[in-house]
Structure 1
Amino acid sequence: MGQRRYPQCVAREGKPRLRSLEEVVALPRRSSLTAELQRALAAASRLHGLRSDLSPVPVRATATITEAGAYRFRLRDPIDLRVSRVGGRSALGFLHELGHLLDHQIFYDRKTRSWASAVHDAFKPWREAAGLLDKRVLPGGYSRQRYFQSVHEVWARSYAQTVLLRSEDRALLRRLEKLQAEDDAHVWHAQQFAAVAIEVELVFERLGLRQLSLPLAA
């Protein structure tokens, strides 16, 4: 029996440059999720871009019932984003995993394997604001709770909620409002989260990722 091969990482080429998020990820072309993922990606792209040398990171639809999504990577390199089409949480799940991708690609410490949300100076005011949020609790044991409260997980959840909140897309806003009304553990209530949403936006401002350069007319 042959040895199982590790999934291939996304290639890098040239020097990092500021890209729109539509250049950073490649959505599935033929999937029941495509339209909703396009809306979520457009909402995120209106907020910021990413300075990157990566080829587009594939987004793959799955049928898993154990998680809404996953970000797969090896050391500093992405493999893919996975989003479940089961459970009606595809926009939130996609944005959550996109938040992990951004966190990982903005900064990665090879020695400690820390990501930007935990150590980068641009995230410091966000870390302080997020530290004041109520600790949301999931069913499960200590290890699951510890992961759920980790800095990079709180970042991904607050990033996803900020994109939905700032989306100006009625369908996405309704998804967020429904989750808040149900007291879903993956989101915070609007009044408490308002200050954190501002800090999420300011992270990208400090990093110089808010303004994308536009091509000049000939």
Structure 2
Amino acid sequence: MSDTEVRQNMKEAIEIVESVHGFPDSMRSVQFTTFTGPADHLGEYDMLTRSIDINTTNPELRSTLVHEIGHAIDHGAFEGSGLASAMPRTPQMRAWREAVWNSEAVRALKGEPEDQYTTYLRSLPEIWAHSYAQWVAVRSGDEQLLTELRSRLSSSEADQYRQWEDQDFEPIAEALDHIFQSEGWLK
């Protein structure tokens, strides 16, 4: 993908997010950068520099960028410091945590053999970012984003639990609706 195509995809991903919710003021300091790296390193959010770095070779650039925006929101958009998903302070965040723990996908993920990757997937910040990306995809109706995320459901091993089937996801989506509504960000 050319640099122009990458930038266009990033712009479109941000517009998709903005069609679902407004950005809190704290997100204005987040920087977006690109890098070219190994295929298994799709992107990352750096809490220290407040930057989202996206791999230009990433075939799922949109869903990765939305996922990383989810990390940035988790880290710095909610009242208090730290990761809101890991230390839910509001009833809305606690309801989200309960919804994800009760989902079939997360229960199945907990049943996967313990290793570094499944430990990473089971972390609340990672579950938050996966659920946030799916919520944006569902609420926006963006077909490319939905396709990228739904392709993971047919993955092998633990990767299949990175996203939820529609029915399994609805209680999580409703919890996210309440979170963003309570913050005044939902459109």
Shorter-chain TM-score above 0.5? yes
1:116 match: secondary structure? coil
In terms of fraction of residues, the more strand-rich structure is 1
Letter in 2 for 1:64: G
Separation in 2, partners of 1:42, 1:94: 11
Aligned position for 1:99: 70
In structure 2, do the counterparts of structure 1 residues 170 and 53 end up closer, same or farther at CA, with 3 Å as the change threshold?
A: closer
Separation in 2, partners of 1:54, 1:37: 15
1:59 match: secondary structure? strand
Letter in 1 for 2:34: A
After TM superposition, the structure 1 stretch with the greater mean CA deviation from structure 2, 151-160 or 85-94, is 85-94
Aligned position for 1:127: 97
The number of residue pairs the alignment matches comes to 175
In structure 2, do the counterparts of structure 1 residues 109 and 140 end up closer, same or farther at CA, with 3 Å as the change threshold?
A: farther
Aligned position for 2:43: 69
In structure 2, do the counterparts of structure 1 residues 55 and 39 end up closer, same or farther at CA, with 3 Å as the change threshold?
A: closer
- What is the correspondence of 1:36-51 to structure 2 with a 5 Å cutoff? 36-51=9-24
Point out where structure 2 has 5 or more consecutive residues left out of the alignment: none
After TM superposition, give the deviation of residue 35 of structure 1 in Å: 2.2
* 8 Å Cα contact 1:107-1:120 kept in structure 2: no
Residues 16-37 of structure 1: CA distance to partner in whole angstroms, max 9, x if unpaired? xxxxxxxxxxxxxx54312222
With normalisation by structure 2, the TM-score equals 0.80
After TM superposition, give the deviation of residue 143 of structure 1 in Å: 3.2
Bigger CA radius of gyration:
1
Aligned position for 1:187: 163
Aligned position for 2:6: 33
Letter in 2 for 1:209: W
Aligned position for 1:170: 143
With normalisation by structure 1, the TM-score equals 0.70
Aligned position for 2:128: 155
* 8 Å Cα contact 1:43-1:166 kept in structure 2: no
Residues 29-69 of structure 1: CA distance to partner in whole angstroms, max 9, x if unpaired? x5431222222211211221233256442211222223211
In terms of fraction of residues, the more helix-rich structure is 2
Residues 78-126 of structure 1: CA distance to partner in whole angstroms, max 9, x if unpaired? 431011122411111111110010011124755xxx4111222131111
* 8 Å Cα contact 1:47-1:201 kept in structure 2: no
Point out where structure 1 has 5 or more consecutive residues left out of the alignment: 1-29, 212-218
